[in-house]
Amino acid sequence: MMIMQLFNQNYENVFLCVLTLLLLVIPSFVQMEFKIELPTALEIIILLFIFAAEILGEIKSFYIRYPMWDTLLHTMNGFLAAAIGFSLVDILNRSEKVKFELSPIFMALIAFCFSMTIGVLWEFFECGMDLFLGFDMQKDTIVNSISSVMLDPSGGNTPYTIDNITSVIINGKDLGLGGYLDIGLLDTMKDMFVNFIGAVVFSIIGFFYVKNRGKGNFARRFIPHRKKANADFLQIAETEENEEK
């Protein structure tokens, strides 16, 4: 993929390919460097998420070809970020060196807040890339109605509404979009909402995981834990398979 983009002199996609390779290495780096074991299911989801976001979404233009692609990935991001936030606290909560014990509801709340924080930071990143580098990461939306106090003829603070917008003319040229071009606000709000849904789903899973003291097989598939000494990948995969049985 990267070689083909080099031949086509599409250097932006070359950068995305390099970024994807670096991101794909992160799960293995975290496991080796911090002695943390990612469950097989979670690791597969993370790798698929990176591939779907960078290669399929950006290079193969899935964000344009399939409007729901971005929504799906932001929902997954909310779920995965909540899993990461939850696991960080859960590892400390079970550590013998750190003496504190958190309630299930508090840990679920931390997971939710961590996920939403990651979502907000990502939207900051998208906005920065659009403003300073001329990207279009905050996708546009065509709307047929707008409301703004800046349109108030009296110059007051009363919102003035324009309905049934069918065309917009800029510098004497009709854009031909069939409506008004919203440049990212609705996309950002939609992304935050689906991130919220993903965060809530995992927070509920995490709540019952802690409440039942880690007995739930389903939740265990998505929650990292400290790596056991002398345990390799095959042993861990076999252990996970036996636990599911």
Q: Where are the domains of the chain?
A: 2-136+185-244, 141-182
Confidence of residue 216 (pLDDT cuts 50, 70, 90): low
Beta bridge partner(s), residue 146: 162
Q: Which of 57, 202, 43, 56 is nearest to 119 (CA)?
A: 202
Closest CA to 44 of 238, 237, 239: 237
Per the model's pLDDT, the better-predicted residue between 154 and 33 turns out to be 154
Which is more confidently placed, 214 or 28? 28
What's the chain's average pLDDT? Answer: 85
What's the whole-number mean pLDDT along residues 191-199?
A: 97
Q: Give mean pLDDT, residues 128-145.
A: 88
Please state whether 172 falls in left (phi above 0), alpha (psi between -120 and 50) or beta.
Answer: left
105 against 11, higher pLDDT:
105
Specify the higher pLDDT residue, 34 or 205.
205
Q: pLDDT at position 129, please?
A: 85
The model's pLDDT over 20-68, given as tens digits with 9 standing for 90+, comes to 888 888 888 877 887 788 888 888 999 999 999 888 988 888 988 998 9
Calpha distance 78→172 (Å, rounded): 42
Q: How far does Cα 159 stand from its chain's mean position?
A: 34
Residues facing residue 173 across a β-bridge: 170
pLDDT at 80: 93
Q: Is 78 exposed, middle or buried (0-12, 13-18, 19+ CB in 10 A)?
A: buried
Residue ranges in the chain assigned as alpha helix (H): 2-7, 11-34, 40-50, 62-65, 68-94, 104-133, 185-211, 217-220, 233-244
What's the pLDDT tens digit per position in 71-81?
A: 999 999 999 99
pLDDT on residue 237:
52
**pLDDT (0 to 100) of residue 51:** 92
Check whether 235 has a pLDDT greater than 80: no
Cα–Cα nearest to 224, from 106, 93, 117: 93
pLDDT band at 210 (very low <50, low <70, confident <90, very high): confident
Mean pLDDT of 185-198: 96
Residue range 111-133, pLDDT digits in tens? 999 999 999 999 999 899 889 98
Q: Are 181 and 142 in contact (CB under 8 A)?
A: yes
pLDDT beyond 80 at 186: yes
pLDDT of 166 strictly over 80:
yes
Residue 86 has pLDDT above 70, yes or no: yes
User: What is the structure's pLDDT at 136?
Assistant: 83
Give me the residue label for tokens 């309905």.
163
Residue whose token pair is 């074991």: 37
Cα 31 to Cα 2: distance, rounded to the nearest angstrom = 27
- 5 within 8 A of 13, measured Cβ to Cβ: yes
- Backbone torsions φ then ψ of 71, nearest 5 degrees: -65, -45
Structure tokens at 153: 């003829």
For residue 146, the model assigns a pLDDT of 93
pLDDT at res. 99: 58
Q: Cα–Cα distance between 210 and 212 in angstroms, integer?
A: 5
